[in-house]
Structure 1
C-alpha cells in the first residue's frame, strides 16, 4: 500500500490556490465547524477548575482523586489509534465526530448525576472516550484545505480549541459558584448538544480513496521516522504540560500566596498565550522552518519552567506563564502538523491516531510521576524535571528527520 499516494496530485476540490485561513469555497462550513469545535472543548473543560474539589466532596481521598482525574486519559491512550483506522476505513469522518460529541454530552450528564467517586470515574472515562475522537475532528477540518496548507488548518483549529479552554475554565468556576457544581456538569452537556447542532450544518468533504486496511499498511504509516520522532516529542511535551499548568503550577502558586482568583487567572493567562502560540507556529515555520518552531517552543517552556522554583511573587509567576503558554501553543501546533506531513489524505486519521495515542502516555504519566516525585523531593523537583524534558525536546529537533523541514 502506497501511503504517499495523491501527495503530488492534490484532489480536484483544491483547485483554488487561495491560502487564507478561510478558503472561500468552504468558508461557511469552516466557521460552523469552528463553532462546533469550540463548544465541544468548552463542554470538556467547563468543569475542570472545580472537578478535583467536587470529587473530594463526595468522600474521595487524594489518591482516589488522582485515579478519577486520570480516567480521562485512559481511553485516549487505548482508542485513538483504532478510531483513526476506523475513520480511514469508513471513508467518512462526520459520523465519528457526531458520536464523539454525543458521548461527551452523556459523560458530562453522568458527572452531574454521579452519587459517588466511582460513578464519577465511569463518567469521566466516558468523556475521555469522547475526547479520543479529536483525532477525527482534526482530519475532518484539514480536508477543507489544500494538503500543503494542512499546518495552517491545524493552527486555526488549535487556536479555536485554546479559546474554548480559556472561556470554559474562566466561566466554569463562576458558574459553579453561582448555580452549583452539578449544574455546571449539566451545562457542559448542553454545550455539547449545541455543538452538535452547529456541526449538522457543515458539509463534509469526500475522503480520499485508499486501500483496504492491512497490518502491513498500518505499519508503513505508524513506523514513519517523522511520525515516531514527533510522537516521542509529544510524550515529553504532554508530560511537562500535565505536570505543569494542568498539574502542579497551581499548587506552587497557592504555596506562594495565590488566591483562588489568582489560580484561575494564571490558568487563563497560560491558555490565552497558547492561543497566540498556535498561530505564531504557522508564522515561524513559514519563515524559518519546523525545526526553528520546535526549538523556540521547547526553549520557551524549558526556560519558563526552570525559573518557577525561584519565583516568590504571583505577578512574576503570571509573567513567566506568558512565555510558557506561547511555547505550549507553538509546540502543540508544530508537532500535530508534522504528524500528518507527507502522509496521503486517506491515511491521515491513522497517522493522527498514532500520534495522539502515543502522546497521551505523557498525559497519563505526567501527573502520576510528578506527584510521586514531589512527595519525596519537593515541588521544585517537578519543575526541574519538566525543564530537563523540554531541553530534550529541543535536542530532538536536531534529528535528521527535520533536516529539510
Structure 2
C-alpha cells in the first residue's frame, strides 16, 4: 500500500468512527426527550445546543488551524470529545447533562474543518471537489452505520447507544495518533487577511445557503421527523430504517457530486435540484398519513441533502490560497451552524404554537425559496456566472 493510500484509508476509518459516535443516538433522542414530558420548544433548544458551540468555535478554530498548520491535533481532540460527550449521559443521566453533552458534541464537530482539509490535501488541487465529495460520503457512511447498529441496540435501551458512541469515539481517538503530523507551516495570518476572507461575497452567499440546508435538516430529519413518525405508529425498527434510507441516499448524493455526470449537469442545476428535493421531502412529511410513506420521502430528502452539503462545501473553499482555506472553511461551517442551532428551535416553536403539518410546510416553502434564490444568483450575479 502506497503512503498516500494509507493516509487516505486511515483518515477514512477515523472519519467513519467519528461520525458514528456523533450520530448513533440521534434517531431516538427527540422521542426520548419528549417522553420526559419536555415541551417541543425545550427539546429544540437541547438539540440546538449541538449547533451553538459550533457557531462559536468554527471561525476561531479555522483561524487557529491556519496559524498552526497542523490538523492532527484537532482531529485527536475531536475524536476524544465525540466519545466522552456521550459517556457523560451514562455517568449523570439528566436532561441538563444531555444539553451539556450535546454542546460538547458540537465542540467535537467543530474540528470537522481539519478532517475535510487534511483529506483534501491528499489529492491534487484539481480534484478538490472530488475530495470533498468523497470525505462527505465517508461522513455519511459513518452516520449510516450508526443508524443501522443504533436501530438494533436501541432494543436494549437508549443507554446502550451512548455506550456504543463512547466505544467508537475512543477507537477513533486512538487511531488518530497514527496520523502523520501534516504541517503546512505557520502562516502570517493578519487581521486584514482574515477580514478579506470573511468579506468574500461568494463565500458569504454559499455559507448562507449551507446554513439553510442544515436549518432544514436539523429542523426535520435530525429532530422532529422521528417524533412525527412515532406518533403515526412507527416502531423502533422502522425509525432505524427511516434514518438508514436517508443516510444511504445522502452518501449517494455526496458521491454524485464527485462524478462526471455532476460536472455535466453544472453547479447551478445541482444546487437548485437539491433544494427542490428538500422542499418535496418537507411537504411530503407534512401530509404523510402512515410511517411507510416516510421511506421514499427519506430517500428523496437524503439525496437532496447529500448533493447540497458536498457541493456547497467544495465551493466555499474554492479560490482561496492554502493558508486561508481553514479560515474560509471555518467561516462556512460557522454560518451553517446557525442552521443547526435554530432549525430545531424554530421547528419546536412552530409545532408548539401551530401543527406539524403547518411546521413542515413552512420548511418546504423555505427550501423552495432557496432554489429560486440560487437560480437568480447564477443568472444575475457576476460572482456565479462563470461557475
TM-score (norm 2): 0.91
1:86 aligned to which of 31, 55, 64: 64
Q: Distance in 2 between matches of 1:315 and 1:277?
A: 22
2:254 aligned to which of 260, 274, 278: 278
1:241 aligned to which of 217, 224, 227: 217
1:391 aligns to 2:373 (yes or no): no
The aligned runs of 1:149-160 (5 Å cut-off) are 149-160=127-138
Q: Distance in 1 between matches of 2:227 and 2:68?
A: 44
Residue number in structure 1 paired with 2:307: 330
Mapped contact 2:45–2:344 kept (Cα < 8 A): no
The CA deviation string for residues 172-206 of structure 1, in whole angstroms up to 9 with x for no partner, is 2422423x433432331221121123333333444
Unaligned 5+ segments in structure 1 are 1-21
4+ residue segments displaced more than 4 Å:
53-64
Shift of 1:53: 5.1
Shift of 1:64: 4.4
The CA deviation string for residues 109-129 of structure 1, in whole angstroms up to 9 with x for no partner, is 212211422223222222211
1:269 aligns to 2:245 (yes or no): yes
Structure 1 residues 375 and 51: alpha-carbon distance in aligned structure 2, compared to 1, 3 A threshold: closer
Shift of 1:105: 2.1
Structure 1 residues 299 and 54: alpha-carbon distance in aligned structure 2, compared to 1, 3 A threshold: closer
1:75 aligned to which of 34, 37, 53: 53
Residue number in structure 2 paired with 1:50: 28
The CA deviation string for residues 278-301 of structure 1, in whole angstroms up to 9 with x for no partner, is 011222442222112101211111
Shift of 1:312: 2.2
TM-score (norm 1): 0.88
2:207 aligned to which of 231, 236, 242: 231
Shift of 1:320: 2.2
Shift of 1:209: 6.4
Unaligned 5+ segments in structure 2 are none
Structure 1 residues 324 and 115: alpha-carbon distance in aligned structure 2, compared to 1, 3 A threshold: closer
Residue number in structure 1 paired with 2:316: 339
The CA deviation string for residues 215-260 of structure 1, in whole angstroms up to 9 with x for no partner, is 2111111111211011111121111111221122223323433333
The CA deviation string for residues 124-173 of structure 1, in whole angstroms up to 9 with x for no partner, is 22221111111121111111111221111111111111111111122124
Q: Distance in 1 between matches of 2:76 and 2:230?
A: 39
Q: Distance in 1 between matches of 2:199 and 2:87?
A: 39
Residue number in structure 1 paired with 2:341: 364
Q: Which structure features the higher share of helix residues?
A: 2
Residue number in structure 1 paired with 2:384: 402
Return 328-337 or 232-241, whichever deviates more. Answer: 232-241
1:311 aligns to 2:293 (yes or no): no
Which one has more relative contact order, counting CA pairs under 8 Å at least 6 apart?
A: 2
Q: Distance in 2 between matches of 1:317 and 1:102?
A: 34
Residue number in structure 2 paired with 1:378: 355
Secondary structure (helix, strand or coil) at the match of 1:342 reads coil
Residue number in structure 1 paired with 2:166: 189
Q: Distance in 2 between matches of 1:181 and 1:311?
A: 27
Q: What is the root-mean-square deviation of aligned Cα atoms in Å? A: 2.2
User: Aligned residues, how many?
Assistant: 381
Residue number in structure 1 paired with 2:192: 216
